Amino acid sequence: NAGVTQTPKFQVLKTGQSMTLQCAQDMNHNSMYWYRQDPGMGLRLIYYSASEGTTDKGEVPNGYNVSRLNKREFSLRLESAAPSQTSVYFCASSEKSRTSGGQETQYFGPGTRLLVL
């Protein structure tokens, strides 16, 4: 099992450019998440998808869109990148069930480092 994979590993953008970060998991998990990690801020949730076909905003959704393409894949799109979006982006997945009640483990990908100039 590869677990959670993310592409690309690194990306440099100019202000105003767009890009899509890709994430895939092979663990048959229902739920997927996008976080950003900034120095001194911990990880903050951007969007999540509790199950295929649903998406919800997290703590910092502005400037981002997401697509849950199928059960395996969850992409994050920056339509018009800004320097404030320079960060490390992590995708995660978990197997939430009706009985897991928030106790399930989230599995993280290796991250995408994004620099917006």
Judged by CB under 8 A, the residue of 76, 90, 114, 116 near other proteins is 90
Smallest distance, other proteins to C-beta of residue 11, A? 16
Q: In this structure, are strands 112-116 and 19-25 parallel, antiparallel, or unpaired?
A: unpaired
Which of 5, 53, 39, 52 shows the shortest CA–CA distance to 25? Answer: 5
Give 42-49 contacts, CB < 8 A, sequence gap 24+: 43/90, 46/76, 46/89, 47/76, 49/74
Of the candidate spans 10-18, 20-28, 76-84, 87-95, the one that interacts with other proteins by CB under 8 A turns out to be 87-95
Q: What share of the chain is helix, strand, coil (3-state, %, to 5)?
A: 5, 50, 50
Q: Does 105 bind other proteins (CB under 8 A)?
A: yes
Q: Does 53 bind other proteins (CB under 8 A)?
A: no
Reduce the DSSP state of residue 102 to 3 states and report it.
Answer: coil
Tell me the torsion sign for CA atoms 59, 57, 3, 99.
Answer: positive
Of the candidate spans 16-24, 68-76, 77-85, 99-107, the one that interacts with other proteins by CB under 8 A turns out to be 99-107
Q: Does 51 bind other proteins (CB under 8 A)?
A: no
Q: Does 106 bind other proteins (CB under 8 A)?
A: yes
Of the candidate spans 15-23, 70-78, 79-87, 103-111, the one that interacts with other proteins by CB under 8 A turns out to be 103-111
Q: Does 102 bind other proteins (CB under 8 A)?
A: yes
- Residue count, binding to other proteins (CB under 8 A): 28
